[in-house]
Amino acid sequence: MNILHLVPGSGGTFYCQNCLRDHLLIRALRAQGHDVTLAPLYLPMYGGATAAETNAPLFFGGIAVYVREKVPFLRTMPDWLNRLLNAPFLLRQAAKREGSTNAAELGAMTLSMLEGPQGNQTQEFDRFLQWLCSQEKPDVIHISNALLLGFAPALREALDTPIVCSLQDEEPWVSAMGAPYNGLCWEAMTRQSQHVSRFVATSQWYATRMRECMALTPERIHVIYPGLDVPATMPELQAVEPPTIGYLSRLNPAQGFAELVDAFLKLKQTPGLKTLRLRATGGATPADTDFVDGIERQLADAGAAEAAEIRREFNAAPDASFFGGLTVMSTPSQGGEAFGMHIIEAMARGIPVVQPDVGAYPEIIRPSGGGLLYNPDDENGLFEALNAVLSDADYAKQLGAQGYARARERFSVERMARDMIALYEGVIQTG
Please tell me whether residues 314 and 353 are part of one structural domain: yes
pLDDT, averaged across the chain = 93
Asked if residue 330 and residue 221 are part of one domain, the reply reads no
In a domain, 347, yes or no: yes
Return the percentage of the chain with pLDDT > 90, whole number: 82
Of the listed ranges 80-94, 190-204, 321-335, the one predicted with least confidence: 80-94
Same domain, 131 and 16: yes
Please report, for the domain that includes residue 185, its CATH number: 3.40.50.2000
Residues facing 223 on adjacent strands: 201
Which of 130-139, 171-180, 219-228, 296-305 is least confident?
A: 171-180
Check residue 98 and give its pLDDT: 56
> Could you tell me if 351 and 423 lie in one domain?
no
Per residue in 270-288, pLDDT (tens digit) is 999 999 999 999 998 888 9
Domain assignment present for 193 = yes
Which 3 state secondary structure label does DSSP give 57?
Answer: coil
How high is the pLDDT of residue 100?
44
Q: Are residues 273 and 365 in the same domain?
A: yes
Whether 237 maps to a domain, the answer reads no
Q: Tell me whether residue 238 is in a domain.
A: no
Co-location of 285 and 313 in the same domain: yes
Query: Taking 90 as the threshold, does the pLDDT of residue 387 lie above it?
Result: yes
Q: What is the DSSP letter of 54?
A: P
129: pLDDT strictly greater than 50 = yes
Query: Given a cut of 60, is residue 99 above it in pLDDT?
Result: no
Per-residue pLDDT of 332-359, as tens digits, reads 999 999 999 999 999 999 999 999 999 9
- Residue 426 and residue 351 share a domain: no
- 96/165 same-domain check: yes
pTM: 0.94
421 and 399, same domain (yes or no):
no
Residue 233 maps to a domain? no
Task: Name the residue range of residue 397's domain.
Answer: 244-410
Dihedral of alpha carbons 264, 268, 269, 273, sign: positive
List strand residue ranges (DSSP E) for 90-230, in order.
140-143, 163-167, 198-201, 221-223
Task: Yes or no: say if 38 and 45 are a contact pair by the CB < 8 Å rule.
Answer: yes
44 & 169 share domain = yes
346 within some domain:
yes
User: What is the share, in percent, of the chain residues with pLDDT greater than 70?
Assistant: 96
Rounded to the nearest 10 degrees, how much is the dihedral formed by the CA atoms of 166, 44, 181, 158? -60
Q: What value does the mean pLDDT take over residues 230-237? A: 94
Residue 236 lies in a domain: no
Domains contained in the chain, number: 2
pLDDT digits (tens, 9 = 90+) for 143-196: 999 999 999 999 999 999 999 999 999 999 898 888 999 999 999 999 999 999
Asked if 147 and 256 sit in the same domain, the reply is no
Do 393 and 423 sit in the same domain of this protein? no
